[in-house]
Amino acid sequence: MEYYRCPIEDLWREVNRRKLGLPLRPRDELSEALASDDERRGSAATTVETVIQGGFVPLSINLGHTAEFGATVLANQLIDEKIIYWTMNTFFPTIQLFFESGRSCTIDGGQLPDARIGLDSALHFKLTDCAHEEDGRVTNSLLPPTHSGPGTGMAIKEAVIAQRTSIALQPIHPDDAKRWTELDRPHTRIATETHTVVGIRLRGMDRLAYIWAKVKNTPATKVWSNVRIAGLRNDVPVPNVWQPERPIKPGAEKTVVVKDSLITRDS
């Protein structure tokens, strides 16, 4: 996130919360330190706390997405399912998990416009061992074909719904900014938002890691979007990335969806 337009009081408070050890530094240095910490630690840097809610279901649900992806299901229904493939953020702000049992589920984060699903780093690192599609690019499993058959999916050992409090950059209303001079008047503030996340612990992980959703462009009135588990079903086939005519080597990538504009300007 870009912190340069925040009040210096907010920057000091956030630097102290993260224990970065940068007291009484200029605004630019504090802003760069926070941005670097975001880059290095990801969602761990912006998380204030995460409180497990067990089988909690979000009170606010996008009914359009309920019709599209299915009704909300409880987290404990995913326990002991084995992930063999997943797709994320190709067309929608969702992550779809495909299981060895033949079932699949969609974790939907699209309550806010321009939201995107994200993963805590520990979960993302573990999931990349599996064949997957992310942002329109397919990556084959690092495991050789002889070790990627039945019985080798990544087992979900724990699944929960949680409420996470995260920092968010929100616009400052002009009336609230009048106490600053025009020269140093800030335009954004560091606030906190509470949002629903899905926690998963795979076999081999020592703790839960979380799936969350965040808008792409900040500052915004609402930055973090609630996520929910939806559409646990058995009628969606697993995408095939091992077509004989177009094989993908273990660990190799291939673009399947071009998300950027194909229109180029004449120079």
Tens of pLDDT, residue by residue over 115-140, are: 999 999 999 999 988 888 887 787 77
- CA atoms of 15 and 121, how far apart (whole Å): 21
Residue 182 shares a structural domain with residue 125: yes
Give a yes or no: residue 252 inside a domain: no
Q: Are residues 120 and 191 in the same domain?
A: yes
Q: How far apart are CA 247 and CA 253, in angstroms?
A: 11
Q: Is the pLDDT of residue 165 over 50?
A: yes
* Percentage of the residues of the chain whose pLDDT score is greater than 70: 74
Asked if residue 133 belongs to a domain, the reply is yes
The reply to whether 82 and 196 lie within a common domain is yes
Of 95, 72, 140, 111, the residue nearest 223 (C-alpha): 111
179-191 pLDDT, tens digit per residue, is 665 556 678 899 9
With cut-offs at 50, 70 and 90, classify the pLDDT of residue 54.
confident
pLDDT tens digits, residue range 210-262?
A: 999 999 888 888 999 999 998 788 876 777 654 544 556 555 555 655 555 44
Helix (H) or strand (E) holding 32: helix 27-41
- Measure Cα distances from 33 to 25, 38, 184, 191, 267 in Å: 10, 9, 20, 18, 39
Q: Are residues 199 and 89 in the same domain?
A: yes
Structural domain for 16, as ranges: 1-41
What pLDDT is recorded for position 158?
95
Task: Please indicate, yes or no, if residue 163 is contained in any of the structural domains.
Answer: yes
pLDDT at 262: 46
Residue 53 has pLDDT above 50, yes or no: yes
Half-sphere exposure of 202 (CA within 13 A, CB side): 23
Per-residue pLDDT for 173 more than 90? Answer: no
Q: Report CA-CA distances (Å) from 87 to 5, 134, 138, 188.
A: 36, 6, 9, 34
Residues 35, 160: one domain? no
pLDDT above 70 for 152 = no
